[in-house]
Structure 1
Amino acid sequence: METMSVGRSSGEAVAGPDPSWRGLYRAGAISAVLYVVLNMGALVLFIITPPVPSSGGAATLQYIASNKSAYLLELVLFVAASVFAMVVFLALYMALKHLNKSFAAIAALVAIAYGVIALALNSSPPSLNGGLVYLSDQYATATTAAQHIAFATAAEGLIAVTNAVNSAGILFEVGILIISLVMLKGVFHKGVAYLGIVTGALGIVSEALRPILGFGYVVFFVLEVIWLIAVGWKLYRLG
């Protein structure tokens, strides 16, 4: 039976990161910083603004109408960060593929899938969804009780989908875990690799239990920020 290993794939030459991709490494470094900045901004908004209702279609639509600017900004910050995450993992793939092309490619693939899903759904827990902004506008201009009920019911459905298990977030943490296993073989300091392994494993659990953890989710987020800063610094040096 063939066993799996995070060693070098057969036939791969022992080499270092391809220097011809220095531009991508620099882009990855900048993207890591921007990812952190955008998520930190969203976290600050989450802390200083009234919490979004986790249930109740009418209550959520009324909340959005009263806090529209902050709600939209928080949504944009969370979703836009996914673009920079994809660039980071493309850079990591090129920096680590000489160690194990297969695992580096899988890590990049699942991280890019995270970005695509986040952009396609245009949503993020807790109760952040672009569709809810539209429903809020319609709810505010509705003139009959039947219309209010219809828009509130539609909002309930979007809220349920948005606040369910965060599949996109879980994919990102799986990507961090896998790419950190590859890092154990070189290029990055082993401390960064071990931090990534812990962050990825803890992140998978945290994303799955996000509705239960509440503010405790921040503990995992701090680890992710530290890991991304360390990764960004190394990519900058490679560039």
Structure 2
Amino acid sequence: MEHTKWKTLYRAGAVAPVIAWALYLSQFIILIFCDPYPTTIEGWFALLQHNKLLGLWYLNALDIVSFALLGVMFLALYMALRRVHPSWILIALYFALLGVAVFIVPRVLTLAIVPLSDLHAVAITDAQRAVYLTAGETLSNVSTATPQTTGFLFMTVAGLIFSVVILRSQSFGRAVGYTGIAGFVLTLANYISWIVAPSIASLLMPINGLLWLLWWIMISVSLFKIAKSTSDQETNFTDY
């Protein structure tokens, strides 16, 4: 019965990666069919003043939601696997939540460009507009991709540990573990290749990205099954 207390978390953890996957898909579609990505702070201000919703989409505001949801998935994974290998699963959870936090923070900082754009739009003098442009440039430099990439690295380490432990669990299929191992090892290889062979990195990125998405869906299915089994156990206990 102790396991059944966490069925709500299992369900939430199962739904979370599906929503995250849908959000990523929507961002991908918009990037294909909408206007080109701004390359200057003036371009960002112009986009936000013309179409704030699209600007927020391009600023990857949905990533904040997506990665927060993935945090829920990792919590559910921890609860489902904590008895298989408590120490390693706790380490994995630490890196997962650290990765989520490190990834989200620069995204949130980037959103400060939105009010700067509003101030720039109503500025009266060139000097005022220059101040807001400088602030936007500074903000853009502070919220670079480096901390976001570091967040991915932490989550890669976490996912690899989770996947290895999954191979020892009866609640998840071995295919889930092997898919995760393949995806996260390729991600680590991608990090290394960016340093030694950037041309290879561009080839690895879409492959490990697809494996990540596939792993999310497989985890979702597994957590749904665990939630259902705990509900069945609870029903049987009540009937008894």
In structure 2, distance between residues paired with 1:63 and 1:86: 31
1:60 maps to what in 2?
Answer: 44
Q: How many residues align?
A: 217
1:131 aligns with 2:118: no
The within-5 A match list for 1:84-95 is 84-95=69-80
The within-5 A match list for 1:28-43 is 28-43=13-28
1:225 maps to what in 2?
Answer: 213
- C-alpha contact 1:169 1:207 (8 A) present in aligned 2: no
1:12 maps to what in 2?
Answer: none
2:139 maps to what in 1?
Answer: 158
In structure 2, distance between residues paired with 1:207 and 1:158: 25
The within-5 A match list for 1:2-41 is 18-41=3-26
In structure 2, distance between residues paired with 1:111 and 1:141: 42
Q: Can you give the 5+ residue segments of structure 2 that lack an aligned partner in the other structure? A: 228-240
Identity of aligned residues (%): 29
Q: CA deviation at 1:73?
A: 4.0
In structure 1, distance between residues paired with 2:77 and 2:112: 34
In structure 1, distance between residues paired with 2:143 and 2:208: 20
Of structures 1 and 2, the larger Rg is shown by 2
Q: 1:110 to 1:86 in 2, by over 3 A?
A: same
Detail structure 1 runs of 4+ shifted over 6 Å in the superposition: 211-216
Which of residues 164, 186, 189 in structure 1 aligns to 2:173? 189
Q: CA deviation at 1:207?
A: 7.1
SS in 1 for 2:87: helix
1:69 aligns with 2:53: yes
2:101 maps to what in 1?
Answer: 116
Q: CA deviation at 1:36?
A: 1.1
- C-alpha contact 1:53 1:60 (8 A) present in aligned 2: yes
Alpha-carbon deviations, 1:22-51, whole Å to 9, x = none?
Answer: 222112111121121122222222222223
Q: CA deviation at 1:113?
A: 2.1
TM-score, structure 2 normalization: 0.78
TM-score, structure 1 normalization: 0.79
Counterpart of 2:157, as a letter, is V
Q: 1:234 to 1:47 in 2, by over 3 A?
A: same
Counterpart of 1:110, as a letter, is F
In structure 1, distance between residues paired with 2:89 and 2:16: 18
- C-alpha contact 1:175 1:200 (8 A) present in aligned 2: no
RMSD (CA atoms): 2.7
Alpha-carbon deviations, 1:116-161, whole Å to 9, x = none?
Answer: 33444444xxxx9211111111111122222222211221222223
In structure 1, distance between residues paired with 2:34 and 2:158: 31
In structure 1, distance between residues paired with 2:145 and 2:11: 36
1:198 maps to what in 2?
Answer: 182
- C-alpha contact 1:115 1:168 (8 A) present in aligned 2: yes
